[in-house]
Amino acid sequence: MGTAMSWVDNIGVRLKVALAPIIMGLLLLVMVGYGSLTMTGNIAQLRQLEDTNARFDVIHEFLLETAQARGDLYRLISVAANDNDPTHLDERASAVMGTLRTLDDQTETVRAAALAVGLDPTVAEDASKHMKAFLKSALDAADMVQADVATALTFMGATERYYQAGRTTLEAMRAQVGTLAAEKREALRDTLSRARTLFLGLGTLSLVLGMAVAVGLSVRIAGPIRALTATLQRLSEREYTVEVPGRDREDETGVMARALFVLRESLKDGERLAAERDAAQKTRQQRGDHLDTLTRHFGATVSEVLGALEQASATLTTTARDMAAMADAANSQSATVAAAAEETSATVEGIAGAAEQMTASIRSIGTEVERSTSMASQAVTEAERTDATVRGLAEAAQKIGAVVDLITTIASQTNLLALNATIEAARAGDAGKGFAVVAGEVKHLAGQTARATEDIATQVTTIQSVTGAVVEAIGAIGTTISQINNITGLIADAVHQQGEATTEISNGVQHAATGSRDVSATITQVTQTAAHTEKAADAVLEAAGALSHQTTVLRTEVDRFLAAIKEA
């Protein structure tokens, strides 16, 4: 929808105006096309209905003519039975037989009509067969009337049966064809009704759509024009910031909008240029006033500056004379200072040599202290290692004590077992004597084991107590060595700090010696500078005189310049 509206906005006004009639014309063409197709279909249906009605008329006329022929045959027989005039009878019989032969020829036409409208071929064949049989029998009866009326009457029974069968079949066919024609008439009526409804709907739709398109296009045409009119109104009120709508359109209003935008920019530039001209005029006026003020201020300021310059010239002259006197005094004092500086430089160099010797001694002491600290650290390490070894020995003695306790326990149990064995051997009598001897030996051995174990336990206890004393002594030695190591470290730090301080003193003394030499050189430069200062003082005196002269000239020129500006 947005794309369609954008397309409508971009087409020309003439095409927009013609768009509604074009759409209505297209809808009318659709209506005409559909009407033509509908009418063609309706005509085809009407022709089918007419054809069906014609077939119905053929069957109906054939039924009437066969009924008429049947009646004529009965009347012929009646006349033949009552009229003795052969000539008159022959004429009537010929007429009846001619009618029957004509009907026989039409039988095929009736059958074709039935088949053409779509009836059952069997029914059509039955009707044709019955009617042909009726007409043949009727022809035989009509032919027999001239010879023998009574025989002719005997033929009428079969003729009547054939007629009734054929008539029944034909009436059924006529009813079916009538029903088919009625259905086709109803279908045609429905088609015409739908066509009329559709034509009314299309006509209404065309009218409504045409009106909607006309109104929409009028809005699309008049809306931008109203917006441009409002923009022009605001531009006439000097409102140049107003936005110009519709510049992106491709129709005539877009061209007008772009032209109006150019006009707005031109008016804006014109107003800006006028404002700039007014501002420039005002600036020039302000600049003239400001120049007047500056000129007056310049005159006053230059007068003050020239007065200050004259005063400064007098001061400069006085200062130059003072500088010359001070330069003479500096020359006399610098000689005395130079002699004192030389003596100070010799003294400082002697101090510097002594400081370097002291620094070398402190470095030697520091080296020895570091070596002592290293040895103390090694002693601490060995004491810790020995302490660990002795502690391992103490732990081994503890384990040996535990083993000795186990052996003692085993010996006690062995002794108890030997005692039990002796008791059992005594109960056994002579049979247990050998066992008693063995039990006694075991008991003896258990006793020896217990005594040896006691001796071992005594020795282990002694070892444990000695080992504990050794561990305590080694711990005390380690502690003492650690303290010595700490003290040695403190001494090393103090020596190191002393060395650094001595180095700094030596550096300071060397800097002082260098400074003394620099002082001597500086004093020489001061002497030279004093001589230059004296010469500069003379030059300043000469410049001060020139400055006083130039100040007088400058005052004269400034007065002349200010007078010229006032006259201008």
- In angstroms, the CA 275 to CA 291 distance is 24
274 vs 434 pLDDT, higher one:
274
Average pLDDT for residues 318-325, to the nearest whole number?
63
Statement: residue 114 has pLDDT above 70: yes
What pLDDT band is residue 463 in, cutting at 50, 70 and 90? low
Token pair 């369609």 is at which residue? 4
Residue 123's φ and ψ, nearest 5 degrees, are: -65, -40
- In angstroms, the CA 369 to CA 306 distance is 80
Statement: residue 241 has pLDDT above 70: yes
Statement: residue 357 has pLDDT above 60: yes
Statement: residue 365 has pLDDT above 70: no
What pLDDT band is residue 442 in, cutting at 50, 70 and 90? low
Statement: residue 324 has pLDDT above 70: no
444 vs 530 pLDDT, higher one:
444
457, 369 contact by CB (below 8 A): no
Residue 527: predicted pLDDT: 62
Statement: residue 520 has pLDDT above 70: no
**DSSP 3-state assignment of 38?**
helix
Residue 341: predicted pLDDT: 47
Residue 455 C-alpha from the chain's centroid: 95
Written as one letter, the residue type at 119 is L
Selection from 317-326, 338-347, 403-412, 517-526 with the highest mean pLDDT: 403-412
Average pLDDT for residues 408-431, to the nearest whole number?
72
Which secondary-structure segment (H or E) carries 28?
helix 13-82
Statement: residue 199 has pLDDT above 50: yes
375 vs 203 pLDDT, higher one:
203
Selection from 36-40, 205-209, 483-487 with the highest mean pLDDT: 205-209
Q: pLDDT digit string (tens) for 282-295?
A: 877 776 676 667 66
Average pLDDT for residues 129-145, to the nearest whole number?
87
CA angle at 282 for the pair 268 and 295, rounded to the nearest 5°: 155
Q: pLDDT digit string (tens) for 325-345?
A: 655 664 565 566 456 546 645
User: How high is the mean pLDDT of the chain?
Assistant: 72
Statement: residue 382 has pLDDT above 70: no
The least confident of 77-86, 99-108, 154-163 is 77-86
The least confident of 49-58, 115-124, 155-164, 407-416 is 407-416
Q: How many CA atoms lie within 13 A of 253 on its CB side?
A: 24
The least confident of 104-118, 128-142, 296-310, 546-560 is 296-310
Structure token digits, residue 483: 């303290």
Structure token digits, residue 418: 């030997």
366, 495 contact by CB (below 8 A): yes
Residue 337: predicted pLDDT: 47
- In angstroms, the CA 159 to CA 162 distance is 5
Average pLDDT for residues 536-540, to the nearest whole number?
64
Residue 336: predicted pLDDT: 60
344, 516 contact by CB (below 8 A): yes
Selection from 167-171, 287-291, 310-314, 475-479 with the highest mean pLDDT: 167-171
Q: pLDDT digit string (tens) for 172-192?
A: 888 888 888 788 888 888 888
Residue 259: predicted pLDDT: 80
Average pLDDT for residues 195-199, to the nearest whole number?
81
Statement: residue 250 has pLDDT above 70: no
**DSSP 3-state assignment of 165?**
helix
What is the pTM for the complete model shown? 0.34
| Cβ partners under 8 Å of residue 347, min gap 6 | none
Residue 155: predicted pLDDT: 83
CA dihedral 489, 495, 496, 499 (to 10 degrees): 180
Residue 523 exposed, middle or buried by CB count within 10 Å (0-12, 13-18, 19+): buried
Residue 230: predicted pLDDT: 81
Average pLDDT for residues 531-544, to the nearest whole number?
65
**DSSP 3-state assignment of 219?**
helix
| Cβ partners under 8 Å of residue 328, min gap 6 | 530, 534
| Cβ partners under 8 Å of residue 502, min gap 6 | 355, 358, 359, 362
DSSP 373-416: HHHHHHHHHHHHHHHHHHHHHHHHHHHHHHHHHHHHHHHHHHHH
Statement: residue 315 has pLDDT above 50: yes
Percent of the chain at pLDDT above 70? 55
Residue 215 exposed, middle or buried by CB count within 10 Å (0-12, 13-18, 19+): exposed
- Alpha-carbon radius of gyration of the chain: 79
What pLDDT band is residue 398 in, cutting at 50, 70 and 90? confident
435 vs 214 pLDDT, higher one:
214
Q: Find the length of the chain.
A: 568
The helix, strand and coil proportions of the chain, stated in percent and rounded to the nearest 5, come to 95, 0, 5
Residue 310: predicted pLDDT: 66
Residue 141: predicted pLDDT: 86
- In angstroms, the CA 348 to CA 516 distance is 8
Residue 379: predicted pLDDT: 52
Q: Is 429 left (phi over 0), alpha (psi -120 to 50) or beta?
A: left
Percent of the chain at pLDDT above 90? 1
